[in-house]
Chains A and B, each alone.
Chain A
Amino acid sequence: MMASQAKRISFIALLATLALIFSYVEMLIPFSFGIPGIKIGIANVVILIALYSYDFKTAFSVNFIRIIVAGLLFNGFFAAIYSLAGGIISLVIMSLLKKTDKFSIVGVSACGGVFHNLGQITIAAIIVQSPKLFLYFPVLIFSGLATGIAVGIISYLILNNLPKDLLQQ
Chain B
Amino acid sequence: MFKKADIYLYIILIVIGLFTSYYVSSLNTPGTTVKITVDGELYGNYSLDTNNNITIETETNYNVIVIEDGYVYMLDANCPNKICMKHSPINKTGESIVCLPHKVLIEITGGEEYDGISS
Residues of A near any B CB (own CB < 8 A): 32, 34-37, 75-76, 78-79, 82, 102-107, 110-111, 114, 124, 127-130, 132-133, 135, 137-139, 141-142, 145, 149, 153, 156
Contacts and interface: CB of A to CB of B under 8 A. Distances in A.
B74 to A, nearest CB: 10
Contact of B9 (A32, A82, A110, A133): A110
Given A76-B81, A127-B103, A138-B24, A36 B96 contact: no
A156 B2 CA distance: 10
Given A76-B80, A130-B96, A114 B13 contact: yes
A52 B14 CA distance: 26
Contacts of B87: 34-36
Contacts, number: 95
A128 B2 contact: no
Given A103-B3, A104-B3, A128-B37, A138 B13 contact: no
A127 B88 CA distance: 22
Interface string B83-108: 11011100000111010110101010
Nearest to A82: B100
A132 B37 CA distance: 12
Interface of B: 1-3, 5-6, 9-10, 13-14, 16-18, 20-21, 24, 27, 37, 40, 80-81, 83-84, 86-88, 94-96, 98, 100-101, 103, 105, 107
Main SS of chain A's interface residues? helix
A149 B13 CA distance: 12
Contacts of B80: 76, 78
A145 B94 contact: no
Contacts of B13: 110-111, 114, 141, 145
- Among A36, A75, A156, residue most surrounded by chain B Cβ atoms (within 10 Å): A36
Nearest to B5: A102
B86 A132 contact: no
B96 A132 contact: yes
Nearest to B18: A138
Contacts of A124: 98, 100
